[in-house]
Amino acid sequence: MNDTLSKKIEATALEVRRKCLDIAFGMSPKATHFGGALSTVDILATLYFEVMNYDVSNPTWENRDRFFLSKGHSVMGYYATLAKAGFITDEELFTYGQNETFLPGHPVINKEKGIESTNGSLGMGLSVGIGNAIAAKRKNLTFRSYVLMGDGECNEGSVWEAAMAAPHFKLDNLTAIIDRNRFQQTGTGADIMDIGDLREKFSSFGWHALEINGHNVTDILKALNEDSRGKPKAIVAQTIKGKGFSFSEGNNAWHHAVLTKKLYSLGLTECGGDPNADK
């Protein structure tokens, strides 16, 4: 990837992080799932602004690529990305979490707005992606399905049942991306349920499995575009929970927390905004 493209995606990711900051502050004094959203932003920016094939003016186009957010609580980053892509307006975006919004704390299917599936319980997304990948094969369509998962949800047995199914059906049109930020709601993944080497595990299930830096857009793009050799692809993305802001990076208190005015101003400064703009 050339330097110009890399900088373009990085700039887009910064804009998405800024939107996340604004959304979280807009919800104050309510808590939001901040940290887990931020660890996904570089992946989402690369997918939506360089890799995926879709048409905002025709969101239900049959041959569009599909994205499924399996770690549904990190939806803030997803909504901010959809807003940047043009599926939803900024006015709609800032109804996040409010009464009667179509943008609640977990995604609810709304294909006109670019939201392909509903997600609540963890461990669901990979199976949904598999179903869509099978449908593409049977209909002789060329769209790809991308599933973004959390490493914590890999504790779920349903994930590994799905992991067996994808190679069985030879789903080389399916990519699973695991956000490996090593935290869950109540602690580290290693303490709660150590899942070990995820690249090795997916490889042993018959996937073309890679491990990358999930905040390096060059690495992300290369992995997404790599030939999977006739197999489903699993990308284990090593990430930092709360990536982008000094107060949240690697701090699991930001799994679900309230963004204060002081920290909002700090965050604005760190992402190049004006902390005095609203004064």
Q: Is residue 61 part of a domain?
A: yes
Q: Is residue 152 part of a domain?
A: yes
Domain count of the fold of the chain: 1
Distance CA 21, CA 214 (A): 20
pLDDT recorded at residue 277: 56
Q: Is residue 261 part of a domain?
A: yes
Cα pseudo-dihedral 262, 266, 271, 273, rounded to 10:
70
pLDDT recorded at residue 2: 86
Distance CA 118, CA 110 (A): 8
pLDDT recorded at residue 197: 97
pLDDT recorded at residue 120: 83
pTM confidence score:
0.96
Q: What is the tens place of the pLDDT at every residue in 161-219?
A: 999 999 999 999 999 999 999 999 889 999 999 999 999 999 999 999 999 999 999 99
Of 224, 254, 277, the C-alpha closest to 49 is 224
Q: Is residue 277 part of a domain?
A: no
Q: Is residue 225 part of a domain?
A: yes
Distance CA 98, CA 215 (A): 30
pLDDT recorded at residue 257: 97
Residue 40 structural domain: 3-270
CATH number at residue 245: 3.40.50.970
Q: Is residue 275 part of a domain?
A: no
Low-confidence ranges of the chain (pLDDT < 70): 274-279
Asked if 264 and 258 count as a contact pair (C-beta separation under 8 A), the reply is: no
Q: Is residue 106 part of a domain?
A: yes
pLDDT recorded at residue 279: 41
Determine how many CB atoms are found less than 10 A away from the CB of residue 253.
11
Q: Is residue 131 part of a domain?
A: yes
Bridging pattern class, strands 187-188 and 183-184: antiparallel
Listed in sequence order, the residues at least 6 apart from 165 whose beta carbon sits closer than 8 Å to its beta carbon are 127, 130
